[in-house]
Chains A and B, each alone.
Chain A
Amino acid sequence: MSNLVEGRTGEWEVVIGLEVHAQVASNAKLFSGAPTAFGADPNANVSLVDAAMPGMLPVINQECVRQAIRTGLGLKAEINLVSVFDRKNYFYADLPQGYQISQYKQPIVGEGVLRLDMPDGTTREIGIERLHLEQDAGKSMHDQHPSKSYIDLNRTGVALMEIVSRPDMRSAAEAAAYVRKLRSILRYLGTCDGNMEEGSLRADVNVSVRRLGAEFGTRTETKNLNSLRFIQQAIDYEVARQIEIIEDGGEIDQETRLFDTSTGTTRAMRSKEDAHDYRYFPDPDLLPLVIPQAEVDELSAALPELPDQIRDRLTGEYGLSAYDAAVITEERETAAYYEAASAGRDRKLVANWMTVELFGALNKSGQTLADCKVTPAALGGLVGLIEDGTISGKIAKDVFAAMFESGKDAAAIVEEQGLKQVSDSGAIEVMIDEVLATNQDKVAEYRGGKDKLFGFFVGQVMKASKGQANPGMVNQLLRAKLDG
């Protein structure tokens, strides 16, 4: 699959790097004991530290540190046993301290890697440059009053992990796959709930274009995208915009851009020249963060099985395709469902039923796996009926639809509706004889060389059996009668 984009003057390669802000799953904020619960009344979750009252001091929440370490381990990244919190200084009404506590030169997590399984079966490795802990800012509301802005500090000081990728992605689809995979790992680890609508996971997207093999082009950064669709839209728009500018003889400005969700376009927010001078320096209220190796080892040992490990088992032991395995393991719940449903069954067949029928039905009905009436055992049972020839794959689809509706077992539905596959050769032969008798002319044509009519006869027999005849046997017996 070529990721190159065709312009007027030739092909362009797209270069994408992402900075993902993931809210750390924790009860309290990064440096204060205030709660992090979403949806509280404005300014309900604000401590003296969050409001930057005079003389207040930050104290690190060790659970947030552990969450960052777990995430680092999940990204196969190096854990820096000594890291430093810095102050990023700027004035804004929803930033009470006048600085954000972040990690600048010495982040808690260093280089790691994230593997993507693309739909075409290829695998891509995306480098992780770093992960650091930082405080979230508050929220300014400019539409509540004609002349004043309202400030909500509930988010102020909530712990974020900023996860920075290498510029290793080459298409919007890869960028989306990267965010999905990252979200998946975070959710497996329990270090971020990954809820993009609530803002728990947001991405800044760095995009540039270049001729294949050329140096990196000038990049733009589009801020604060909170859905996979917006990420892809913003990238597609930026790519088209940049190619057009360059092909018209212009140059790309290194700038920060905003995404307009209503039009799917981006617009300039500030240029490099107007960029803030954040005057980073080590926060003198905090000592360097020192993590004992023993703590890292302990967290590492307690890490849950991650999607890649399960995926490798699914492809290696069960023979699933990399893409199917990746789809099944994206959510821990889905992987667990699959493991339960496929135990003792044809693993590939169950995978197929899950990714096509089950996910399709869930999508169509807007349900999640958690609401689904079809239990893993029930899906396994359905596949079992196919395996032992009780029903055909075609009938199974109807059975599945009924199961999805009622939550009943496949066997019960097959029994109730009399859908059992007919594998009795005598019964099938009777039906074949009837079909051949009522279609003498076609039989003659077939025997005269019109081979294509074979399909017609199969169809007629299946119709006569109401779809319940074993298709393999129908084929075999029909051929014997016609050709014999």
Chain B
Amino acid sequence: MSDLLSLSAVAARAALESGEISAPELTTAYLGAVEETAPLNNYVAVTADRALEMAAASQARIKSGEAGLIEGIPVGVKDLFCTAGVVSTACSRILEGFTPTYESTVTANLWREGGVMLGKLNCDEFAMGSGNETSAFGPAINPWQGGDGVDLVPGGSSGGSAAAVAARAALLATGTDTGGSIRQPAAFCGIVGMKPTYGRCSRWGIVAFASSLDQAGPFSRTVADNALMMQAMAGHDPKDSTSADAPLPDLMAALDKGVKGMKIGVPAEYVMDGMDGEVVALWEQGQAWLRDAGAELVEISLPHTKYALPAYYIIAPAEASSNLARYDGVRYGLRVEADSLDEMYAGTRAAGFGEEVQRRILIGTYVLSAGYYDAYYLKAQKVRRLIKQDFDSAFETVDAILTPATPTAAFPVGRKVDDPVTNYLNDVFTVPANLAGLPGMALPAGLNSDGLPLGLQILGRPFDEASLYSIGRVIEDAAAFSAVPQRRAGGAS
């Protein structure tokens, strides 16, 4: 039943409501897709039994008229989310076999709204990476292939999430975005990814990478599906002190508002040396689409953009070095036994953390050390404030900002893994939104000459996700992106 897999979540909801399809049918189709796409290594745990139970329960609620927002929709969960009774490892050896007794607020919200859990999705270890290549479970593979047929990365850190949705192995999936970890993989996999405003989604129960930057968000194949999932997962949570007590508007209603009269900023500083010509061309195309739909395009300046990446790679590792101190072998996860406490720590953390995680812990420890704190951490925080001010003043004149999502299309697995700095450059367009706490959406806008998807990014004012969905819908319609990845489920038939 490959046509079940091509339904959008919105369409599937309608078909479920009308009785055209059943929740167990849809879930069974997706479990088949998960199996079929197993070589992509997108799932690190499949919860088939639970999925079928949840689907049956959804079917009952649909029948009794108690359906939630995403009732019966199969959802994949990034392994960074703690899920009760289901192994949750952040794709790290140090959490090997760790099964929480608690459910993250975001996933609890999704289940409350009727979502059906398919399993846990591959990601970079502790969400640290831009290619899903640092995972203890090995790399997740992008369902898109270039002309030469080599395996491509799906992006990261939420690589498994983006790849699974693109490959029709999940209808929706959760991701987290600390420096672009939702938007970059969405762009690499040709789907829609939203990083909401910092504070919009609860961080409770999500393995922390960098607390002041981490934010959960939805992956989907359409803008409308994205709004639907966002509506289900967001909300104030008193268990997260940084969760915002801000009302969530009706995002579905924002979809058809259009962009007439909107001012869209185009930042001069986002034209970078060595940028792919095709990326620039697509960006200009995006501007033209919005202009044609009645928006006013305005050139703006975000003068501190070039400092965003260095500031990010100080602040994020600093917070991570402290957040990851709890993985010490004392209470849960991996423990390497030794004769002294210090040796146990050293043995456990050396064996449990991969190279990239260790690198960031060392960087973070260094920048917080006495004598370096002012020169690195404090200065990075100042830069962060300046970047926020750049956006604040831009949003005095524009309603949203349009940029490319990534400097390039997806790259081959293994290509850049030995060069951390080049890898970090993947985040150049996405990091500023995390530093400023702004919402950002990436969505597919076209293919490059290798047939790989390229994405655009829309940034908005704090808590104005609604405008991003209005703009995203206009671009989606104009781009009419209909290409599908080669290695999707049902693709061979």
Q: A interface vs B, CB < 8 Å? A: 48, 51-60, 87, 89, 91-93, 96-99, 149, 151, 277, 279-281, 283-287
Q: Residue on B with the closest CB to A31?
A: B241
| Chain A residues positioned under 8 Å from B345 (CB to CB) | 91
* Pair A96/B241 contact, Cβ less than 8 Å: no
In the complex, which residues of chain B have a beta carbon less than 8 angstroms from the beta carbon of A151? Answer: 330
| A54-B82 in contact (CB<8A) | yes
Complex Cα distance, B100 from A52, in Å, reads 12
A396 to B82, CA, bound (A): 74
Do B368 and A279 touch across chains, with their CB atoms under 8 A apart? yes
**Quick one: closest B residue to A147, CB to CB?**
B339
- A98 with B328, Cβ < 8 A, contacts A55-B204, A60-B241, A89-B322 known: yes
**Minimum CB distance partner of B329 in chain A:** A93
Q: How long is the Cα–Cα vector from A98 to B342 in the complex, in angstroms?
A: 13
Q: Chain A residue with minimal CB distance to B211?
A: A284
Given the complex, which residues of A lie within 8 Å of B332, measured CB to CB? Answer: 53
Residues on B close to A: CB < 8 A?
Answer: 81-82, 88, 90, 95, 98, 100-102, 104, 203-208, 210-212, 238-242, 318-319, 321-322, 324-326, 328, 330-332, 341-342, 345, 365, 368-370, 373, 377
Cβ–Cβ < 8 Å partners of A89 in chain B: 321-322, 325, 368
Contact of B326 with A57 in the complex, beta carbons under 8 Å? no
Q: Is the CB of B239 within 8 A of A59?
A: yes
Q: Which residue of A lies closest to B82 (CB)?
A: A55
Which residues in B have their C-beta under 8 angstroms from that of A98?
A: 322, 324-326, 328
Query: Contact check: which of A59, A277, A284 meets B212 at CB < 8 Å?
Result: A284
Contact pick for B242, options A48, A280, A285, CB 8 Å: A285
Chain B residues near A287 (CB-CB < 8 A): 241-242
Cα-based distance from A60 to B242 in the complex (angstroms): 12
Q: Give the shortest distance, in Å, between A289 (CB) and chain B (any CB).
A: 10
Whether B104 lies near A55 (C-beta < 8 A) is yes
A59→B100 contact, CB < 8 A: no
Give the Cβ gap from A285 to chain B, nearest Cβ, in Å. Answer: 5
Contact of B322 among A58, A60, A99, A277 (CB under 8 A): A99
Task: Establish whether residues A55 and B370, one from each chain, have CB atoms under 8 Å apart when the complex forms.
Answer: no
Q: A96-B330, A277-B370, A285-B211 are in contact. Are A55 and B205 (CB under 8 A)?
A: yes
Determine how close the nearest CB of chain B comes to the CB of A152; give it in whole angstroms: 13
Q: How would you classify the secondary structure of chain B's contact residues: helix, strand, loop or mixed? A: loop
Residue in A55, A60, A277, A280 whose CB lies within 8 Å of B206: A55
Q: List 21 A-B contacts (CB under 8 A).
A: A54-B90, A54-B98, A54-B100, A54-B208, A55-B104, A58-B241, A59-B240, A59-B241, A87-B322, A89-B322, A91-B328, A92-B341, A93-B341, A96-B330, A98-B322, A99-B322, A279-B322, A279-B370, A281-B322, A284-B212, A284-B319
Q: Of A52, A53, A91, A284, which is within 8 A of B102 by CB? A: A53
Closest 10 CB pairs of A and B: A98-B325, A284-B211, A284-B212, A279-B368, A52-B326, A55-B205, A54-B207, A55-B82, A277-B370, A285-B211
Inter-chain contact B208/A55, CB cutoff 8 Å: yes
Q: How far is the CB of A5 from chain B (nearest CB, A)?
A: 35
Give the complex CA separation of A281 and B101 in angstroms: 30
Q: Which of B206, B331, B373 contacts A51 (CB 8 A)?
A: B331
State in angstroms the CA–CA spacing of A279 and B325 once bound together.
12
Q: For the complex, give the distance between the alpha carbons of A281 and B332 in Å.
A: 26
A95 to chain B, nearest CB (A): 9
User: Which has the most chain B C-beta neighbours within 10 Å: A96, A99, A279?
Assistant: A279
Which chain B positions have C-beta within 8 A of A279?
321-322, 365, 368-370, 373
Contacts of A281 in B (CB 8 A): 318, 322, 368, 373, 377
Select from chain B the residue with minimum beta-carbon distance to A285.
B211
Residue of B nearest to A54 (CB): B207
Least distance between B48 CB and chain A CB atoms (Å): 24
- Extra contacts besides A91-B328, A284-B242 (9): CB < 8 Å: A48-B101, A51-B331, A52-B326, A54-B90, A56-B204, A57-B203, A91-B325, A91-B345, A149-B341
Query: Which one, A52, A54, A280, contacts B88 given CB within 8 A?
Result: A54
Q: How far is the CA of A96 from the CA of B205 in the complex (A)?
A: 17
Q: In the complex, what's the smallest C-beta–C-beta distance from B94 to chain A, in angstroms?
A: 10
- What chain A residues lie within 8 Å of B208 (beta carbons)? 54-55, 285
* Cα–Cα, bound, A90→B345 (Å): 12
Contact partners of B205 in chain A: CB under 8 A: 55-56
Assembled-state Cα–Cα distance A167/B187 (Å): 61
Q: Cβ of B203: which chain A residues have Cβ within 8 Å of it?
A: 55, 57
- Report whether B331 and A52 are in contact in the complex, using a CB–CB cutoff of 8 Å: yes
Q: How far is B98's CA from A59's CA once the two chains are assembled, in angstroms? A: 24
Instruction: Give the CA-CA distance A154 to B307 in the complex, in Å.
Output: 45
State A426–B212 Cα separation when bound (angstroms).
Answer: 94
Give the shortest distance, in Å, between B278 (CB) and chain A (any CB): 38
Chain A residue at smallest Cβ distance from B371: A277
- Decide if B331 touches A96 in the complex (CB within 8 Å): yes
With beta carbons under 8 angstroms apart, the residue of A54, A149, A284 that contacts B326 is: A54
Expressed in whole angstroms, the minimum distance between the Cβ of B81 and any Cβ of chain A is 8
> With a CB–CB cut-off of 8 A, which chain B residues contact A87?
322
User: Which residues does chain B contribute within 8 Å of A92, judged by CB atoms?
Assistant: 341
Residue contact B240 to A57, C-beta cutoff 8 Å: yes
B-side contacts of A51, CB under 8 Å: 331
Q: Name which residue of chain B comes closest to A92, CB basis.
A: B341
**Min C-beta distance of B318 to chain A, whole Å:** 6
Q: Shortest Cβ distance from B344 into chain A, in angstroms?
A: 9
Interface centre among B90, B319, B322, B328 (most CB of A within 10 A): B322
Residue ID in chain B nearest A59 by CB atoms: B241
Q: Are B322 and A57 in contact (CB under 8 A)?
A: no
A48 to B342, CA, bound (A): 24
Assembly CA distance A92 to B328 (angstroms): 9
Complex: chain A residue closest to B333, CB-CB: A54
**Docked pose: A286 CA to B199 CA in angstroms:** 12
| B325 and A55 contact, CB distance less than 8 A | no
Chain A nearest CB, measured from B220 CB (Å): 24
From residue B164, how far is it (CB to closest CB) to chain A in Å?
A: 22
B239 contacts A57, CB within 8 Å? yes
Bound CA–CA A484/B249 (angstroms): 108
CB distance from A352 to the nearest CB of B (A): 55
- Cβ contact within 8 Å between A285 and B104: no
Cβ-defined contact, B100 with A53, below 8 A: yes
Given known A-B contacts A54-B95, A55-B204, A97-B325, A286 and B241 have beta carbons under 8 A apart:
yes
Q: How far is the CB of B178 from chain A (nearest CB, A)?
A: 12
Q: Which residue of B lies closest to A286 (CB)?
A: B241
Q: How far is the CA of A99 from the CA of B323 in the complex (A)?
A: 9
Tell me if B325 and A99 are in contact (CB < 8 A).
Answer: yes
Measured between beta carbons, the chain A residues less than 8 angstroms from B328 are 91, 93, 98
* A284 to B317 CA separation, bound complex (whole angstroms): 13
Say yes or no: B102 contacts A48, CB within 8 Å: yes
Q: Which residues of A contact B104 (CB under 8 A)?
A: 55
Q: Contact at B241–A285, with CB atoms within 8 Å?
A: yes
| Measured CA separation A57–B201 after assembly (Å) | 14
Chain B residue nearest in CB terms to A276: B370
On chain B, the residues within 8 Å of A277 by CB distance are: 369-370
Q: Say whether A284 contacts B210, CB under 8 Å.
A: yes
User: How far is A415 from B322 in the complex, measured between Cα atoms in Å?
Assistant: 76
